Amino acid sequence: MKGAACTGFRGKQTQKHPCPVGQSIQQPQISWLLFVFFSSDIEISRAQSPKAVDVLAKEIGLLTDEIEIYGQTKAKVRLSLLERLKDQPDGKYVLVAGITPTPLGEGKSTVTVGLVQALTAHLNINSFACLRQPSQGPTFGVKGGAAGGGYAQVIPMEEFNLHLTGDIHAITAANNLLAAAIDARILHENTQSDKSLYNRLVPVVNGMRGFSAIQLARLRRLGINKTDPETLTEEEISKFVRLDIDPSTITWQRVVDTNDRFLRKVTVGQANTEKGFVRQAQFDIAVASEIMAILALTTSLQDMKERLGKMVVANDKKGEPVTAEDLGVTGALAVLMKDAIKPTLMQTLEGTPVFVHAGPFANIAHGNSSVLADKIALKLVGEKGFVVTEAGFGADIGMEKFFNIKCRASGLVPSVVVLVATVRALKMHGGGPNVTAGAPLKKEYTEENLQLVADGCCNLQKQIQITQLFGVPVVVALNVFKTDSPAEVDLVCKMAKESGAFDAVPCNHWSAGGRGAVKLAQAVEKAANQKNSFKYLYSLELPIVEKIRIIAQKVYGAQDIELSPTAQSQVDRYTQQGFGNLPICMAKTHLSLSHQPERKGVPTGFILPISDVRASIGAGFIYPLVGTMSTMPGLPTRPCFYDIDLDPITEQVKGLF
């Protein structure tokens, strides 16, 4: 097996409960139907006995020394695999995106899982799902678990949703170490002389004084080509020890992976020990950290270390950028992230392989799984195989960022886009009543209403058009609910094909597993063989404002953009600092094509307000904030945690989706 990918993945496995594998959805067993419709996702997950992860690893062609096992059902995969398989041709690359969703979500993860189950367990085509690790924020807040659902999910789902292998914890630790370093450095510079700072930063140890490697690198950046600490002049010592951070320009925030609205604005430094150096700050959700974006976009350990060092945290009092490298913390950040960089191997309910890596939130973050997971999976499936990865929320944000940011970083070219839609969401876009998480659906969503569906297909048509901007074939996957009528399903598929989709297929993967997505898999296989004329939406050489305008007008449908004075000032500063040739990562609501969540369908004629612009230099993008978009979600009146519990006898988690 050495030097090549596995020639054939294996799906299907022994079931503890009736499972749809091998059964017909048209002629189901009554006991199976009852189990499907009256069991929670976690009960369905537990009804399956996952194969041991070392068995799964062997099936897909991994060597023993290429995995690090975490328990019985998950393992980290070492990056050395890429070197071993460097001459192996890549498989086909499929992106799952969606229309503008309701607050309930429309099932991109279930479609992703159902599709790979269909490909591998039912059509005998090697495939790999690459999913994002869910945040604790929505897990305990509004959305609940994010492992898929029904008979199309990743198992064990409680391990998928809770901690996994600790990647988000590592990101949180690294992010907050850097935040602590910023404030500590300001305090020490404000309370010590140059000589005192120098003696502490370059101490005498065993009678010798020496620079660390990261300090020598800083000296070189300052143009000081000396290696002996005793030879620096007073002027050189002052340049070396003083970062002179301007506190009003600090853009690096602390993070926590919990929806905590009261941390959106905080004051730090109020203890007497901080000598009155008080400033206003904020917390972001952990998965919105630039370090998460770096994890998603990096291509190697060396690349990650370089990106971590380039992260700009503030400006000095001369207006020059201050980086993590200047603070001397790059090596420590890399140490905290050394295991998180490895993708986590898990499996679907039907035993097909899944990589879980990087984080969610395409509305306030990058919102895509990792380049490394995709690259490794593309080698493992072989030339005729498929890697199916998922982008967050609608095609207007998650997919746009996948193409313009992730594909630039990876160099990978997508073969086809699967665009997920539901009758429920289309009815909302057609003028149906508001959909609220936790509240029962109104009758408009549970009874046939062809007019609402037809009116709402404008959003589906717009998302198809957005996909076509990038020159990639699109297949619409209609995620079918039991309340959808055959006439509604037929209408959506007809209108999707008339709007330019290569195909449109109803999917029953939630209730039937991979068998319910076989037609989708066949459509994807055909679409992936079509002519592909992939192109980026904009040139990186364009000015920052023009790139923002192109996204606003061509993707969102805005008439124009309007930058606040703060946003314009930041754009001018980043351009002057040499960061103008970076792609754009818009922070915008996912509930509308516009900046106003209540505007459904296809809004037009609006002016898109840009309230602020930030720079994620290590990740490699400019980060505009649209309107009042917050980077820290809040808990609703009745969060999901009311239903989550632990059985102290069996230690089983209850109520997790």
Catalytic residues: 108, 110, 132, 143, 362, 393, 481, 510
Tokens 């998603």 sit on residue:
296
Tokens 């922070």 sit on residue:
587
Question: Do 430 and 601 touch, CB atoms closer than 8 A?
Answer: yes
- Reading the block at residue 373, the tokens are 């997971």
* Cα–Cα separations (whole angstroms), residue 214 to 187, 220, 225, 332, 562: 21, 10, 14, 11, 41
Beta-carbon neighbour count of residue 206 at 10 Å?
4
* CB burial of residue 330 (10 Å; 0-12, 13-18, 19+): buried
Of residues 348, 314, 309, 366, the one with CA closest to residue 174? 309
Cα 18 from Cα 487, distance rounded (Å)? 30
Cα 311 from Cα 93, distance rounded (Å)? 30
* CB burial of residue 572 (10 Å; 0-12, 13-18, 19+): middle
Q: Report phi then psi at 184, rounded to 5.
A: -65, -40
* Cα–Cα separations (whole angstroms), residue 262 to 290, 396, 529, 633: 21, 30, 51, 10
Question: Do 48 and 16 touch, CB atoms closer than 8 A?
Answer: yes
Of residues 54, 56, 87, the one with CA closest to residue 69? 54
Radius of gyration of the chain (CA): 25
Residue type, 611: S
Question: Do 429 and 107 touch, CB atoms closer than 8 A?
Answer: no
Cα 635 from Cα 263, distance rounded (Å)? 12
Question: Do 75 and 346 touch, CB atoms closer than 8 A?
Answer: no
- Reading the block at residue 528, the tokens are 């992936």
Cα 576 from Cα 223, distance rounded (Å)? 21
Which segments of 16-107 does DSSP mark as H helices, in order? 30-38, 41-46, 53-59, 80-84
Question: Angle at Cα 352 formed by Cα 346 and Cα 356, nearest 5°?
Answer: 30
Cα 512 from Cα 23, distance rounded (Å)? 8
Beta-carbon neighbour count of residue 216 at 10 Å?
15
Cα 82 from Cα 84, distance rounded (Å)? 5
Q: Is-cis flag, bond preceding 156, omega within 30?
A: yes
Cα 546 from Cα 111, distance rounded (Å)? 35
Beta bridge partners of 355: 130, 345
Beta-carbon neighbour count of residue 266 at 10 Å?
14
* Cα–Cα separations (whole angstroms), residue 222 to 190, 239, 312, 326, 614: 21, 8, 17, 10, 25
Cα 343 from Cα 373, distance rounded (Å)? 6
Residue type, 478: L
Cα 32 from Cα 577, distance rounded (Å)? 62
